[in-house]
Amino acid sequence: MELQAVLMAAGGGSRMTDLTYNTPKAMLPVGNKPLMWYPLNLLERVGFEEVIVITTREVHKMMSSDSKIKLDVKMKLDVVCIQEDGDMGTADALRHIQERIKTDILVVSCDLITDVALHEVVDLFRAYNATLAMLMSKAHEFTETVPGQKGKKKTAEQRDFVGVDQSGKRLLFMANEADLEDGLSIRKSIVRKHPRMHIKTGLVDAHLYCLKKAVVDFLVDNKSISSIRGELVPYLVRKQFSKTTNSQKIKDDAEDQNQKKNDGPTNHELLISSRDEPLLQLAQERSCWNDHRGDMSEAYHGGKLRCYVHIMDEGPCYRVNTLAAYIEANRLAPKLFEEPAVHPSAVISERCQMGSDSIIGAMCQVADKTSIKRSTIGNSTTVKEKVKVTNSIIMHGVTIEEGCNIQGSVICSNAVIGRGADLKYCLVGNGQRIEAEAERTNEVIVGTDQLMEI
Amino acid sequence: MADSGETEGPGSKDVIERAKNEGRELTKEEKQRLRKEKKQQKKGKEKKDDKASQDGEKQKKPVSSASPAPQPATQPPTQKAPPAVPALVPVPASETPPPGDKPAKSKAELKAERRARQEAERASKQGKKGDVGGQQVAAGKPKAPPSELQPVVKRLPEYMQADNPEVLKKLAKKLERQQIPLRSDYGYKVSLFSHLHQYSRKAPLTQQLSIPSTVIHPAIVRLGLQYSQGIVAGSNARSVALLHAFKQVIRDYTTPPNEELSRDLVNKLKPYISFLNQCRPLSASMGNAIKYIKKEISNIPSQCKEEEAKSKLLTCIDCYINEKIILAAKAIAKSSIEKISDGDVILVYGCSSLVNHILCEAFEKNRKFRVIVVDSRPRLEGREALRRLVQRGISCTYVLISAVSYILPEVSKVFLGAHALLANGYVMSRVGTSQIALVAKAFNVPVLVCCETYKFCERVQTDSFVSNELDDPDDLIVTRKGKTQLEHWQDVRLLGLLNLVYDVTPPDFVDLVITDLGMIPCTSVPVVLRVKNVDQ
């Protein structure tokens, strides 16, 4: 077997608590499909037959009752439940499922919506015999107004500095702004080997990683690493150029193959060697190919640990981990798939004006004289007469009474909007009730119990 | 002749029946005899039909030739004389004496008759060639010579028929059966080479495969990708990488129930080889390695246990690499070093792993020489050769192939590597090699080709058109000072980009071939091939 897919669906959605305090992030509806359906669909389209899903019990329960996942996803889902409250990072989760992992893995996060040609990432992993191959994308500007936001949102989020070589494929440097106190420092050894480096800041990490099995074994021994994105990837990128990897490895390989298992907790080195290593060496020596030119060293500068990145220039690639991203994804996700905009079981009266880019979910009831433009309406929602819904996201089980005017808002599941209410750029939490004739602009309306969580 | 065949028939049949009665198997001779007699009987039947037309001529001849040959014992000398005489004379001649001796003939007589028959056939063949007028007499032996002379219609391999839609259809069907995606040709092909495939590096075959690949072993997918991207390039490197991948395949292989390893494993390898062929056409060295592996697999006895068989195959592969590549390189280096003397200026072209190895070894043995590395676009492999030589401390000069006639007066020897050595003595190597050899010949500089024997190929080729490899035409596009002139070459209707990979050098330009069997002239390649086949 070549690759095993691992889907990380236990994340809490800490950056959009208004949405996730009742619904776990993995099951948030995007275009009337649960969020985790998108990466599962991507894996299925590419040809995976089995996926290990790491999630919480709650999500697992919701998954088994969700029709979309049950019917559409034909792959075998091997669900591993972990504690919700536990502080398990993604790397800790990998350590947890270590016995199930038999070959190299492809780690995907549940909040990734993209239609990337996955072979581009995996080909880097295969062709260059890389230890890590990841996917990044040019960040898109979010144009929609986010409810509950005061003023223009400054990208106060920390930037990622990503350094790639001239071909744009080899990953040389990765650091987050938070870790760089007094400036960006690059080791001389890197600059000597790769004198031309492009440093990019406007990239979004898609959290899609191909990792060698040796990395998982390494994680088992090094319990201090708990997050793939935050700790493991920068560690691997740094280790490419560390001195110990190059010189000693070739001598020790022959002996270390046996000692690998015995070393245990003292072994902090990432041992990457395969069987028939001398044959591979011979083939590389005899091959007249080099990945760089201008200096005296052989291909890859003799290094065994290599990290590669595929940067997507165009095409959708979203990580739905903030409210803005959620809204954007809802806008664009339906365009990824050709599905009928109106679910066949929805009851829509003739005198309803529906825009072409709206989606109506299953078993909806839309009454007369309503106008729905650029919106997503979830399953089992009731929309009464004379309602105007523009640019909004309405989740499942919502009731909207007559005469409402909803614009640019997000209405969570099971909410009730009273008659004649006028909501502009609001976020209505789960199960909330908006009283009749209310007029709210740019507000986040959530229950009192949620307010305490901050 | 026919009669003799018939009359001899009963005689030898007795012998054979005797043997059968005795219960022992027919010996080889007896089997051969049986076969020959059956053939003769067939010929005899046809003969009888045509006898009417021949009788006239026959009547005259037997009289003249029968007199010098009264006894059967003197048959041999007379049979040798007639070959000069046109058609059928020896035939009727042998007709007359044999009716006399029906009873058991001695071995010598049977041998003599056999020889007589052979002479007759040879004469009739010559007669056929000589008689332009096409006598009816010659027509008397219609079936026998044509069936021996009929040329075996060789089928062109499909990689040379990219413009034949039927062949392409057949190929598509075959690949579909093996569940391998078909790689489509890219761009406009120059008309002289439209019979070859041309692929684009930006459209790898893995686009159409599933991830993770289940039909094709992951090691083979990785290998195919490395071939098509050019990461593993060079005849030796490709063969070693191929054998390495096969080792992994064999390790992961389990015999399905009710199947034999020797047959099933070969069948498993077939789709992998098709896949690798689609990624990049196989080289001659790879072809020979595959032949060797298939032979080894089929030679595994059926009672051998799976583990044992697998470990045996793995050691076979290691042995092959060790003998044919590593030790061969050592042997070639040893012989070549004798040819390198102090003060030499050696010219090399491109990056040949073997030539680089030789030069490094010679340098270590303290020979004083300098090297001129000739390079050519678009591959620019010479840069890698330059790096490897300079790293060892050898002083090098670097020129492009356009300057080869300028630099040649300085050169004392030319060392070339080969991709394959063809059976007619031609050397198939990187495109540009034949030019170097030509110019060197014009300057009277000796050209030495270094090649291991496992690259020797049974193919025969005299030009670089009929069978070659077309690389990605976009490699020829270069950006200088921010301008890419050929960027939209596909829009220009009459423009075609041609990126050839190989060319053939005639043996007249090559002075010596250094192989692990010794230093041989180019024309001795068929001898080596024959010796190799006998060995196997």
- CATH classification of the domain holding B507: 3.40.50.10470
Residues B420 and B387 in one domain: yes
- Is B97 a member of any domain? no
Burial A180-213 (b: 16+ CB within 10 A, else e): eeeeeebeeebeebbeeeeebeebbbbbbbbbbe
Residues B406 and B526 in one domain: yes
Q: Which of A106, A83, A111, A77 is nearest to A96 (CA)?
A: A83
CA–CA separation, A333 and A32 (whole Å): 10
pLDDT for B3 equals 46
pLDDT for B432 equals 95
Q: What is the CATH number of the domain that holds A363?
A: 2.160.10.10
Helix ranges (DSSP H) in A90-242 = 90-96, 118-127, 188-193, 213-221, 233-239
Side-chain-side CA neighbours of residue A379 (13 Å) = 12
Backbone angles phi, psi at A19, to 5 degrees: -85, -35
The region, left, alpha or beta by phi > 0 then psi within -120 to 50, assigned to residue B523 is alpha
Cβ-Cβ contacts under 8 Å, B384 against chain A: 288-290, 293
- Is B386 a member of any domain? yes
In this prediction, what percent of chain A has a pLDDT beyond 90? 26
Assess whether pLDDT exceeds 60 at residue A416. Answer: yes
Residues A23 and A57 in one domain: yes
Q: Does residue B385 contact residue B348 with C-beta atoms inside 8 Å?
A: yes
- In B158-249 the beta strands, taken as DSSP E runs, fall at none
pLDDT for B329 equals 95
Residues A386 and A418 in one domain: yes
pLDDT for A244 equals 61
Residues B358 and B315 in one domain: no
Average pLDDT on B42-70 reads 55
Q: Which of A312, A323, A365 is nearest to A342 (CA)?
A: A365
Residue A424 CA, chain-centre distance (Å), reads 29
Residues A424 and A325 in one domain: no
- Is B296 a member of any domain? yes
- Is B209 a member of any domain? no
Residues A11 and A126 in one domain: yes
- Is A267 a member of any domain? no
Query: A37: Cβ–Cβ under 8 A, 6 or more apart, which residues?
Result: A68, A69, A72, A73
> With DSSP H G I counted as helix, E B as strand and the rest as coil, what are the percentages for chain A, rounded to 5?
30, 25, 45
CA–CA separation, A340 and A172 (whole Å): 45
- Is A255 a member of any domain? no
Average pLDDT on B442-463 reads 94
- Is A30 a member of any domain? yes
Print the domain residue range for A99. Answer: 1-147+157-179+188-242+303-330
Q: Most A CBs within 10 Å: which of B213, B214, B231, as the mutation test of the A interface?
A: B231
Assess whether pLDDT exceeds 80 at residue A125. Answer: yes
Residues A411 and A349 in one domain: yes
- Residue A232 DSSP class: I
CB atoms within 10 A of CB B55: 10
pLDDT for A259 equals 43
**Of the candidates B211, B232, B251, which has its C-beta nearest A287's C-beta?**
B232
Residues A397 and A326 in one domain: no
Residue A249 C-alpha, separation from nearest chain B C-alpha, in angstroms: 21
Q: Which of B277, B280, B220 is nearest to B250 (CA)?
A: B220
CA–CA separation, A386 and A403 (whole Å): 5
For B252, the closest chain A residue by CA position comes to: A1
- Is B80 a member of any domain? no
- Is B404 a member of any domain? yes
Residues A161 and A193 in one domain: yes
**Of the candidates A49, A117, A290, which has its C-beta nearest B384's C-beta?**
A290
Residues B376 and B453 in one domain: yes
Residues A314 and A410 in one domain: no
- Is A254 a member of any domain? no
**Of the candidates B240, B384, B391, which has its C-beta nearest A288's C-beta?**
B384
Q: What is the CATH number of the domain that holds B278?
A: 1.20.120
B254 in contact with chain A, both atoms CB, cutoff 8 A: no
B230 in contact with chain A, both atoms CB, cutoff 8 A: yes
Q: Which of B324, B347, B338 is nearest to B516 (CA)?
A: B324
Query: B489: Cβ–Cβ under 8 A, 6 or more apart, which residues?
Result: B473, B477, B495, B497
- In A83-121 the beta strands, taken as DSSP E runs, fall at 104-109, 112-114
pLDDT for B151 equals 64
**CA dist B99 → B2, B7, B143, B320, B327 (Å):** 11, 7, 25, 60, 65
pLDDT tens-digit map of B313-361: 999 999 999 999 999 999 999 999 999 999 999 999 999 999 999 999 9
Residues B369 and B509 in one domain: yes
> Taking CB atoms and an 8 Å cut-off, how many pairs form between chains A and B?
107
Number of domains in chain A: 2
The region, left, alpha or beta by phi > 0 then psi within -120 to 50, assigned to residue B245 is alpha
- Is B277 a member of any domain? yes
Residues B258 and B377 in one domain: no
- Residue with the two structure tokens 């009454």: A367
Q: Which of B200, B283, B177, B145 is nearest to B471 (CA)?
A: B200
CA–CA separation, A168 and B373 (whole Å): 30
- Is A97 a member of any domain? yes
State whether B240 and A290 contact (CB < 8 Å). Answer: no
Residues A172 and A72 in one domain: yes
Q: Most A CBs within 10 Å: which of B211, B286, B316, B391, as the mutation test of the A interface?
A: B211
Cβ-Cβ contacts under 8 Å, A279 against chain B: 240, 243-244, 247, 321
- Is A291 a member of any domain? no
Q: Which of A44-53, A218-227, A250-259 has the lowest mean pLDDT?
A: A250-259
pLDDT for B9 equals 45
CA–CA separation, A68 and A29 (whole Å): 11
Give the ipTM of the model, two decimals please.
0.87
Residues B292 and B351 in one domain: no
- Residue with the two structure tokens 């065994």: A304
Query: A167: Cβ–Cβ under 8 A, 6 or more apart, which residues?
Result: none
Cβ-Cβ contacts under 8 Å, A129 against chain B: 222
Q: Most B CBs within 10 Å: which of A287, A292, A308, as the mutation test of the B interface?
A: A287
Q: What is the CATH number of the domain that holds A230?
A: 3.90.550.10
Residues B321 and B366 in one domain: no
pLDDT for A266 equals 36
Residues B223 and B365 in one domain: no
**CA dist B95 → A201, B36, B40, B58, B102 (Å):** 100, 17, 13, 10, 13
Can you tell me whether residue A5 is helix, strand or coil?
Answer: strand
B206 in contact with chain A, both atoms CB, cutoff 8 A: yes
pLDDT tens-digit map of A164-218: 998 889 999 998 888 788 888 888 989 999 999 999 998 989 999 999 999 999 9
pLDDT for B33 equals 82
CA–CA separation, A408 and A424 (whole Å): 6
Residues B374 and B302 in one domain: no
CA–CA separation, A234 and A229 (whole Å): 8
Print the domain residue range for B356. Answer: 339-464+500-535
- Taking the alpha carbons at both ends of chain B, their separation in whole angstroms is 40
- Is B165 a member of any domain? no
Residues A92 and A200 in one domain: yes
State whether B391 and A296 contact (CB < 8 Å). Answer: yes
pLDDT tens-digit map of B351-410: 999 999 999 999 999 999 999 999 999 999 999 999 999 999 999 999 999 999 999 999
Number of domains in chain B: 2
Query: Among residues B272, B298, B326, which one ends one of the domains?
Result: B326
- Is A449 a member of any domain? no
Assess whether pLDDT exceeds 90 at residue A17. Answer: no
Residues B293 and B356 in one domain: no
Residues A309 and A374 in one domain: no
Residues A307 and A407 in one domain: no
CA–CA separation, A400 and B322 (whole Å): 79
Of A82-91, A140-149, B80-89, B166-175, which has the strongest mean pLDDT?
A: B166-175
CA–CA separation, B444 and B413 (whole Å): 10
CA–CA separation, B442 and B438 (whole Å): 6
Residues B396 and B434 in one domain: yes
- Residue with the two structure tokens 């080195």: A269
For A47, the closest chain B residue by CA position comes to: B210
CA–CA separation, B12 and A130 (whole Å): 73
- Is A292 a member of any domain? no
CB atoms within 10 A of CB A333: 22
